[in-house]
Amino acid sequence: MSLRLHNITAATKYRANHIDTIEPPDLEVHFAENTFGIDEMRKRLPKEVFQGMVNCITKSSPIATHHAEIVALTMKEWALERGATHFVHWFQPLTGKTAGKHDSFINPTVVGKAIASLRGRDLIQGEPDASSFPSGGLRATHEARGYTIWDPSSPAFLVENENGSYLAIPTCFVSWTGEALDHKTPLLRSIDALDRQARRVLRLLGEHVERVQTTVGAEQEYFLIDEEYFYRRADLVNTGRTLLGAAPPKGQQLDDHYFGEIPSRILACMLATEKELYRLGIPVKTRHNEVAPSQYEVAPVFETSGIASDHQQLMMIIMKRIARKHGLVALLHEKPFADLNGSGKHINWSIATDKGKNLLDPGEAPHENLPFLVFCSAVIRAVYRHQDLLRISVCSASNDHRLGANEAPPAILSVFLGTQLYDLYQKLITGDVLSTAKDTDLFLGVSMLPLIPKHAGDRNRTSPFAFTGNKFEFRAVGSDQSLAFPNVVLNASVAESLRDFANSLRNRLRDKDDKGPDSLKDVVLEMVAEIARECKDILFEGDNYAEEWHQEAERRGLLNLRTTVDALGHLTSEKNTQLFESFGILSSSELHARYEVALEQYEMTVDIEARTLENLVRTQVLPAGFSYLNELTQTAAQTKGIGLHVKESVVPVVKTLNDTLSELVSAVDELTKLLNMHQESLAAEAMHKKDMIIPAMDKVREAADKLEGLVPEKMWPLPNYDEILFVH
């Protein structure tokens, strides 16, 4: 049997019961059983220590060192009971992935035995070598010392393996000089910044709360494909995406995959994944087929943003790990397949008080809901002022394939409000009397069916930043991305608007003689109207994919930073440095480091892709083409030998093949030539990748994909799109 046929047979014969049987989980019993969370702490910690931890988690109060000792001891006991032998300070370096060094609990005794221990200071602080992580110039290679610092707000968890398990302790990662080398530290700083400013605003509005948190629920898109195909394609293995591959006749045209029946092998994998996620306390809620064949989505219920961000990282790891147990590979790349939808991540984002009030819930009458109007306006102003930062927070070589490509929002930021709120903001802008259109019921023409309340606004799936009822949804995030930096930007920029609002409101109230509630209302509405007028250009209700919008956006002076390279240049501008510095979220050098790392990652990603493509074409694709050419010409020669002449009609076949091969050879030679050119600086290197290498790769792909349509299937060395996408 040919390898090709073998793979198809292997994939289609796969049955979920080849692996251990999946017991349906008892949700309530198993939820969070692999975390050292509130429940476990309540059971095990002395009351006073437990209360200390609760205050730390809910109010961000520091934890006393002698309490940390007790928590460490208890956490170790809990982990040992579950078979853990090691602990890991788990952190999120600037690579956007997670990292950690495993340390055993073992401590030899003088009598030649050993005890298992975890001291308070082992829990609180670790000291990994920081020199091999990207630091963007914050550290030189010889300056190795770095610290990992326990983040008590995120529950420690157990990672299980067939041969044992280990305790993972979420941490921040900083340099010896205290500069953030990770994504977690600025995220926690930004959460605190927003909390402070939000409470100031609320106090002025007459509401006293102890803590304001941002809440985040991320929808995650991904592909699941058979691992046989994955490992037979160096491009998927090296870069996470197919660098060549002709479009299949059936892609996503029929719209028959979205929300369709989930194939049972896939469902088995999803169920097993969800079971593990539940055990880790990750509240996954929805799953469905996405638009492209073999594409799916999973979304947890929202959590506070620090935890949501950790959980998202963990979820991506678990998805990949469990997929392998089912002979599948989870692709989280933003654009694994050309001509099919890529994958993104939607960040649903809101602000809530410790009393559970969602500050972005408009209620029945938003025009009278002052806190809502203030917070909603603060978000609008934040997006308007920091379009560049939001764009930068989602930029990467891989996301460049999606944004603006008619499947994902454009690189232009705008805010969609929905009919009800948009009308309200128009009234604020023009100074009309405020009112809110009443919700109506929908009658479906069948008396038996219940009347359903119609939402105050439709959805707009083309908008990069849409209000969806009681939260905003930032839709331009890449599927493989950490939630941290987009959230840092949101938190920081909204904190700034709230700060400016609080300052101005305080001053205006001070200058007022009348201090009554009506006066407060008048001043707040006046200020909200000012914001609406200042930021009206960012509001857009139409089709964000349409060409007319791009022209209109230009007229409005909105930014359109098409690629990562275009966008990144804005990161360290004076405006942005000032924003992050003023709240102590990122110093100027920490910000600059992020610029360096992101640019370097862009440059290196494209470099790896280009070299993989070059290699794939030279060692697999061209040889296949030449073999076929050889076969054809030999046949021609042999038929001549026995007195037969190759029919006229065959000649063009040979000629097309020959032309395509020569086109491919020229294209790959050009790519090699460009790859061998060296640039003076990192910025020039990135520019070279964008302007020269990527177009050269496109040319190679074009010729290679043409060749794929000419060479017999049995000779083509790579699994094709049809097989990868439809055989499972």
State the residues that interact with Mg ion by CB under 5 A: 346
Enter the tokens of residue 367: 């025009």
Bridge partners, residue 87, by sequence: 103, 167
Among residues 361 and 663, whose Cβ is nearest to ligand ADP? 361
Q: Which residue of the chain is nearest ligand ADP when measured via CB?
A: 217
Among residues 154 and 460, whose Cβ is nearest to ligand ADP? 460
Bridge partners, residue 289, by sequence: 296
Judged by beta carbon distances under 5 to 8 A according to partner kind, the member of ligand ADP, Mg ion, none in contact with residue 358 is ligand ADP
Question: Half-sphere exposure of 375 toward its Cβ, with a 13 Å CA cutoff?
Answer: 34
User: What CA–CA distances, in Å, run from 346 to 85, 472, 473, 546, 662?
Assistant: 37, 10, 6, 21, 44
**Residue 31 CB partners (closer than 8 Å, separation 6+):** 278, 279, 281, 283
d(CA 244, CA 698): 9
Contact 145, 127 (CB under 8 A): yes
The size of the interface with ligand ADP (CB under 6 A), counted in residues, is: 16
- Contact string 668-697 vs ligand ADP (x = CB under 6 A): ------------------------------
Contact 32, 280 (CB under 8 A): yes
* Least distance between ligand ADP and beta carbon 470 (Å): 5
Strand pairing report for 415-416 and 465-467: parallel
Question: Does 470 help bind ligand ADP (rule: CB under 6 A)?
Answer: yes
Judged by beta carbon distances under 5 to 8 A according to partner kind, the member of Mg ion, ligand ADP, none in contact with residue 281 is none
Judged by beta carbon distances under 5 to 8 A according to partner kind, the member of Mg ion, ligand ADP, none in contact with residue 350 is ligand ADP
Question: Does 656 help bind ligand ADP (rule: CB under 6 A)?
Answer: no
d(CA 160, CA 152): 21
Among residues 231 and 259, whose Cβ is nearest to Mg ion? 259
Among residues 11 and 299, whose Cβ is nearest to ligand ADP? 299
Contact 194, 186 (CB under 8 A): no
Question: Does 462 help bind ligand ADP (rule: CB under 6 A)?
Answer: no
Question: Half-sphere exposure of 186 toward its Cβ, with a 13 Å CA cutoff?
Answer: 31
Binder among 41, 63, 298, 299 for ligand ADP (CB under 6 A)? 299
- Contact string 201-230 vs ligand ADP (x = CB under 6 A): --------------xxx-x-----------
d(CA 454, CA 328): 41
- Contact string 275-294 vs ligand ADP (x = CB under 6 A): -----------x--------
Burial 9-41 (b: 16+ CB within 10 A, else e): eebeebebeeeeeeeebeeeeebbbbbbbbebb
* Least distance between ligand ADP and beta carbon 216 (Å): 6
* Least distance between ligand ADP and beta carbon 221 (Å): 11
Question: Does 301 help bind ligand ADP (rule: CB under 6 A)?
Answer: yes
Judged by beta carbon distances under 5 to 8 A according to partner kind, the member of ligand ADP, Mg ion, none in contact with residue 302 is ligand ADP
Among residues 488 and 692, whose Cβ is nearest to ligand ADP? 488
Question: Does 436 help bind ligand ADP (rule: CB under 6 A)?
Answer: no
With H, G, I as helix, E, B as strand and everything else as coil, classify residue 216: strand
User: Which range, of 112-120, 258-266, 295-303, 604-612, touches ligand ADP by CB under 6 A?
Assistant: 295-303
d(CA 82, CA 158): 8
Biggest CA-to-CA distance, the chain: 111
- Contact string 231-270 vs ligand ADP (x = CB under 6 A): ----------------------------------------
Enter the tokens of residue 111: 């009598």
Type and span of the H or E element at 304: strand 303-304
* Least distance between ligand ADP and beta carbon 346 (Å): 6
Bridge partners, residue 286, by sequence: 299
Amino acid letter for position 711: V
Question: Does 358 help bind ligand ADP (rule: CB under 6 A)?
Answer: yes
260 backbone dihedrals φ, ψ, rounded to 5°: -75, 180
Residues that bind ligand ADP (CB under 6 A): 215-217, 219, 286, 299-302, 348-350, 358, 468, 470-471
